[in-house]
Amino acid sequence: MKLIFLGPPGAGKGTQAEKLSKELAIPHISTGDIFRENIKNQTELGVKAKSFIDQGLLVPDEVTNNMVKNRLNKEDCSNGYILDGYPRTVNQADFLSVIQDIDKVINFTLSDEQIIKRISGRRTCKKCGAIFHIMWKKPKKQGICDNCGSQLVQRSDEMPETVKKRLDVYNQQTSPLINYYKKKDLLVNVDASPSIDEIFNNVLDFIKN
Ligand code: AMP
């Protein structure tokens, strides 16, 4: 099954995609994670993407489209995948429609206020990437990763000002995709405010029907 997870930053797409990826045994492809991995390894792609990401802006379509095309050509995508954070512009969606047939688009909905609260409280492990939250998923020891004992930091694109910028970008460039996929009769809306398990059950219901 070829799925797209759409929705604003902080809606929990990544958490849900990870769970669903295990349930359906298909890869979870997060363009944000691929960029971050490339930045960490200081690849050419990482260098190109970093300044955009740090400012809360989108990486140019051409760079992103190429990266996704290469990823989807890999063997593990032959039975399907979950795209998390792609497409994010109409241009990307048009590009994807030429190379792939998508089965369903799940649109996670959440208010701007909740988004800002969620993202600006996130803390990420510098070493293993595990994610915590200062209110809802506190580490056992403040500022220290439960998994590997390394320091937890606030990602530069998760500072309140950058989150606001990312939301503006989402509203201007990505939200038109809601209508785009509605018109193609592929879209289902899922409320992203209940518990992780409740949201997951709703996602499963939509996918099975
Ligand atoms: P995410 O973790 O999905 O919120 O992505 C983090 C950042 O990576 C975004 O704010 C963008 O700068 C960049 N990014 C991720 N996916 C895309 C995409 N499909 N198009 C352009 N930029 C992207």
Distance 141 CA to ligand 1 centre (A): 30
Does the annotation mark 166 as catalytic? Answer: yes
pLDDT tens by residue, 86-95:
999 999 999 9
Give the pLDDT mean for 101-129.
92
Percent of the chain past pLDDT 70, that is, above it, reads 100
What letters, b where the CB count within 10 A reaches 16 and e where it falls short, cover 116-150?
bebbbbbbbbeeeebebeeeeeebeeeeebeeeee
Structural domain span for residue 172: 2-208
Beta strands in the chain (DSSP E): 2-6, 28-30, 81-84, 104-109, 122-125, 131-133, 152-153, 187-191
The confidence score (pLDDT) of residue 135 equals 87
The protein residue whose alpha carbon is closest to atom 19 in ligand 1 is 86
Q: Are strands 152-153 and 122-125 parallel, antiparallel or unpaired?
A: antiparallel
pLDDT tens by residue, 4-57:
999 999 899 999 999 999 999 999 999 999 999 999 999 999 999 999 998 889
pLDDT for residue 209 is more than 80: no
DSSP 94-112: HHHHHH----EEEEEE--H
Instruction: Give first-to-last CA distance, the chain, whole Å.
Output: 13
Give the pLDDT mean for 159-183.
93
Distance 117 CA to ligand 1 centre (A): 19
Number of CB atoms found within 10 A of residue 66's CB? 12
The model's confidence at residue 65, banded by pLDDT at 50, 70 and 90, is very high
Give the pLDDT mean for 167-195.
96
The protein residue whose alpha carbon is closest to atom 15 in ligand 1 is 32
pLDDT for residue 117 is more than 90: no
> Based on the structure, what is the number of domains in the chain?
1
The confidence score (pLDDT) of residue 55 equals 87
Supply the CATH number for residue 110's domain: 3.40.50.300
According to DSSP, residue 59 is labeled: P
Does the annotation mark 155 as catalytic? Answer: yes
Asked whether the whole model's pTM tops 0.75, one would answer yes
Q: Which of 5, 16, 40, 58 to probe ligand 1 with, by most ligand atoms within 8 A of CB?
A: 58
Helices 176-183 and 90-99, interaxial angle, to 10°? Answer: 30
The confidence score (pLDDT) of residue 156 equals 83
